[in-house]
């Protein structure tokens, strides 16, 4: 061992002590055959090495204690243990407590919001008590058994006798039985889930297919000065500083604050459509218990809760008791435009963006974990606003508008490309890259846009209640940062955010459409200039030397009012029939990401010629599918499971390309795809069912 610079940890800590890690029932003898070796460089961090008692097997656990280089993993927020609301007896006890609480406190003398917030404190204490009682009973039983086993084992090590060995074996069996009782229910549920869901499309199968799990712990982060941060608590604080700056652009003296007069002038020039009186009246109707119950039933399972810790399952199990109070609460918020700040708290978790190094804060996507009650209120507003969007948003915007799809944009792209080639029209296709678009939106601009669209002032007031006093904490590696206030942006995780954002972006789209100096592609049915999917903007420009200056002037004006920021260096540009001299001039003036054959939009390579669509899209897709299926071939799954995997993961990819790319698929590509899928389903053997 010493030749490899390795050391026996237990002997280092106990140089003169005799203890054992293994008991042979056949020979009735003890020995120490389990070793834990560490390198000499780690010896200075070793605090203790202990041999535990033999319980489940004939080997004892060996425990090492090291001095941590950084603080241990943080505790995070309290979260309701859903196992406390699964058993019928526990549910009945909790339901009775809820009913008694609301009957006693909903008297009209106290504000509904106060009663609701106090209910959370009462129920949190109830669940903590229930969990503690369960844990206390279990720990007491296990502690008593462990103490008896320790005493008997000490006697047996000193002088082994058949009588002590028999007692020791009996006590171990009793401890094993107790531990099995604790885990049996979880094992049954796990086996049931694997049996019923393991071969069906769902989270269980998706988790298995992913292979490598997403890395949640961040090894290090680079701060503003490019200094590496390794301490998890300091990494969390660095995220908090970054997001506090991003969500409070109004405090940045380098970012000018827009005036209401400037915003009104910009919106007036856009000639926005407006709701009809009947549509506006429908928005103001009081929320009903049926609407609230429908929103609760639609909540997805197994989603992380907000800072209050109450999960979706809590609202669904106890909906009968919660819905009446929630309906009163939501109507009060809608009518007064005020919401308790506690409901607006959020926990921001960070997810690394694919293809980007997870070492900078900007390369992570912030997801706001909102309290379920706040999400339900936002969902009610979104349910009413959503059906009205087609009458407010022009057809160029296809994101989050009912009845519109991404294929509308890609088909428009290829129709314009075909027209440009037929008429020999020169032009430039631009795919704008908005920087943190959802997170930067100015609230003053947002409120005025909603009013300009004809939304009733009271309904706008109801929406702005969600932006009255929001705050957030960053959660990373179990550590929570200090709280910071939010003064701009829409939160990713709120059901209402995408609807508000596309309404806020619509004035820019309309200004581009009506501009006389920004030239689009002329067609028999009018001039086509742009296509949008939320913040992904695709522009079709002719005479780019003339069109680009007013376009970027308009983007700057819009950015000054809404905090929208276009990343010029990441904006993709694809020239069509542009003369070499003109193209050289454009390249020198505009630092775009210049492309020669295609640009990437919504995950699809949009090519300047239909003849290269297959090469740029379907060939990489087939190669990706082949690689994916090869990876899955090592997984043990049934025939039904393999078909479910294809249905859940492969088929959506194929359908997305088929729907969004208007091209004839050759038979040989379909045959290759069919062979790949059949080979996976039948594990390379001849199919047992004829096609």
pLDDT of 243-268, one tens digit each?
999 999 988 888 888 999 999 999 99
Query: Sorting pLDDT into bands at 50, 70 and 90, what band is 60?
Result: confident
pLDDT-derived band at 147 (thresholds 50, 70, 90) equals confident
Question: How distant, in Å, are the alpha carbons of 71, 282, 450, 454, 455 from that of 275?
Answer: 56, 11, 11, 5, 7
CA distance 654 to 661: 11
Strands 530-533 and 536-542: antiparallel
Q: What is the dihedral of CA 118, 120, 121, 126, to 10 degrees?
A: 130
H/E element holding 473? Answer: strand 471-476
β-pair type (37-39, 6-8)? antiparallel
Provide φ and ψ at 341, rounded to 5°. Answer: -60, -30
Domain ranges of the chain: 2-66, 228-283+337-606, 609-681
Residue 164 in tokens: 């002590």
Give the closest residue to 349 by CA, choosing from 565, 77, 72. Answer: 77
pLDDT over 90 (residue 413): yes
380's CB contacts (< 8 A; 6+ apart) are: 287, 291, 292, 295, 330
What's the pLDDT score for residue 214? 47
- 3-state SS record for 154-167: HHHHHCCCHHHHHH
Q: CA angle at residue 229 from 225 to 235, to 5 degrees?
A: 105
Q: Residue 164: what pLDDT?
A: 81
Sign of CA dihedral 162, 167, 172, 174: positive
pLDDT at 56 over 80: no
Q: State mean pLDDT over 8-25.
A: 86
Q: How far apart are the first and last CA of the chain?
A: 62
Is 597 a residue whose pLDDT tops 50? yes
Predicted pLDDT of residue 511 = 97
Residue 425 CA to residue 414 CA, distance in Å, equals 14
For the chain, what percent of residues have pLDDT higher than 90? 63
Angle, helices 544-562 vs 497-514, to 10°: value is 140
Asked if the model's pLDDT at residue 323 lies above 80, the reply is: yes
Q: Residue 391: count other Cβ atoms within 10 Å of its Cβ.
A: 13
Asked which of 74-88, 284-298, 310-324, 427-441 is least confident by mean pLDDT, the reply is 74-88
Q: Tell me what the mean pLDDT of segment 42-71 comes to.
A: 81
Q: Residue 686: its pLDDT value, please?
A: 84
Q: What angle do CA 230, 475, 358 make, to 5 degrees?
A: 50
pLDDT value of position 212: 46
pLDDT of residue 213: 46
Question: Environment class of residue 487 by beta-carbon count within 10 Å: exposed (0-12), middle (13-18) or buried (19+)?
Answer: middle
Confidence of residue 209 (pLDDT cuts 50, 70, 90): low
User: pLDDT averaged over the chain?
Assistant: 89
DSSP state of 492: T
> How many helices (H) does the chain have, and how many strands (E)?
25, 22
Over residues 360-366, the mean pLDDT reads 92
Ranking 166-175, 308-317, 329-338 by mean pLDDT, the lowest is 166-175
pLDDT at 216: 58
Structure confidence at residue 336 (pLDDT): 94
Q: pLDDT tens-digit profile of 508-545?
A: 999 999 999 999 999 888 899 999 999 999 999 999 99
């Amino acid at each position: 061992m010493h030749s490899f610079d390795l050391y026996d940890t237990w002997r280092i800590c106990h140089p003169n002590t005799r203890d054992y890690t293994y008991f042979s029932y056949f020979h009735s003898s003890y020995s120490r055959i389990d070793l834990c070796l560490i390198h000499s460089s780690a010896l200075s961090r070793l605090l203790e090495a202990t041999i535990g008692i033999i319980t489940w097997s004939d080997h004892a656990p060996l425990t090492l204690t090291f001095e941590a280089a950084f603080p241990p993993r943080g505790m995070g927020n309290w979260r309701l243990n859903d196992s406390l609301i699964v058993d019928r007896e526990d549910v009945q006890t909790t339901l009775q407590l809820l009913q008694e609480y609301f009957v006693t406190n909903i008297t009209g003398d106290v504000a509904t919001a106060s009663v609701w917030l106090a209910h959370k404190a009462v129920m949190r204490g109830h669940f903590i008590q229930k969990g503690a009682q369960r844990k206390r009973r279990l720990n007491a039983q296990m502690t008593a058994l462990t103490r008896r086993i320790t005493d008997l084992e000490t006697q047996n090590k000193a002088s082994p006798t058949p009588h002590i060995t028999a007692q020791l074996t009996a006590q171990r069996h009793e401890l094993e039985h107790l531990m099995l009782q604790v885990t049996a229910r979880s094992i049954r549920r796990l086996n049931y889930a694997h049996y019923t869901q393991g071969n069906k499309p769902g989270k269980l199968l998706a988790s298995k297919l992913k292979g490598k799990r997403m890395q949640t712990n961040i090894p290090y982060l680079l701060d503003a000065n490019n200094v590496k941060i390794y301490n998890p608590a300091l990494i969390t604080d660095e995220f908090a500083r970054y997001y506090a700056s991003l969500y409070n652009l109004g405090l940045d003296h380098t970012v000018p604050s827009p005036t209401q007069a400037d915003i009104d002038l910009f919106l007036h020039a856009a000639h926005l459509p407006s709701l009809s009186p009947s549509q506006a009246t429908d928005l103001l109707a009081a929320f009903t218990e049926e609407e609230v119950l429908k929103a609760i039933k639609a909540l997805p399972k197994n989603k992380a809760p907000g800072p209050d810790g109450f999960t979706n399952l809590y609202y669904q199990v106890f909906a009968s008791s919660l819905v009446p109070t929630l309906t009163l609460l939501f109507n009060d918020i809608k009518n007064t435009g005020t919401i308790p700040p506690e409901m607006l708290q959020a926990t921001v978790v960070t997810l690394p963006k694919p293809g980007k190094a997870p070492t900078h804060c900007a390369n992570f996507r912030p997801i706001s974990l909102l309290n379920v009650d706040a999400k339900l209120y936002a969902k009610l507003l979104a349910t009413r606003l959503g059906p009205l969007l087609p009458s407010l948003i022009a057809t160029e915007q296809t994101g989050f508008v009912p009845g519109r799809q991404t294929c509308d944009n890609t088909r428009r792209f290829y129709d314009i490309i075909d027209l440009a080639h037929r008429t020999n029209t020169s032009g430039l296709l631009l795919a704008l890259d908005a920087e943190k678009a959802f997170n930067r939106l100015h609230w003053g601009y947002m409120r005025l846009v909603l009013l300009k669209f004809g939304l009733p002032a009271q309904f706008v007031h109801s929406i702005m209640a969600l932006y009255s006093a929001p705050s957030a904490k960053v959660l990373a590696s179990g550590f929570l940062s200090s709280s910071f206030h939010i003064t701009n942006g829409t939160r990713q995780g709120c059901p209402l955010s995408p609807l508000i954002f596309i309404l806020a972006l619509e004035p820019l789209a309309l200004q581009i459409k009506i501009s006389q100096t920004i030239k689009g592609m002329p067609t028999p049915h009018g001039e086509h200039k742009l296509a949008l999917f939320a913040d992904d903007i695709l522009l079709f420009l002719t005479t780019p030397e003339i069109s680009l200056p007013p376009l970027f002037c308009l983007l700057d004006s819009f950015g000054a009012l809404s905090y929208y920021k276009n990343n010029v260096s990441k904006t993709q540009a694809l020239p069509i029939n542009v003369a070499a001299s003109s193209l050289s001039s454009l390249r020198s003036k505009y630092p775009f990401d210049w492309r020669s054959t295609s640009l990437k939009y919504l995950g699809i390579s949009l090519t300047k010629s239909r003849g290269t669509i297959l090469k740029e899209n379907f060939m990489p897709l087939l190669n990706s599918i082949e690689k994916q299926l090869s990876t899955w071939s090592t997984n043990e799954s049934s025939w039904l499971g393999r078909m479910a995997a294809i249905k859940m993961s492969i088929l959506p990819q194929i359908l997305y390309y088929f729907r969004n790319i208007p091209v004839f698929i050759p038979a040989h590509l379909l045959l290759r795809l069919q062979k790949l899928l059949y080979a996976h389903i039948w594990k390379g053997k001849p199919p047992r069912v004829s096609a």
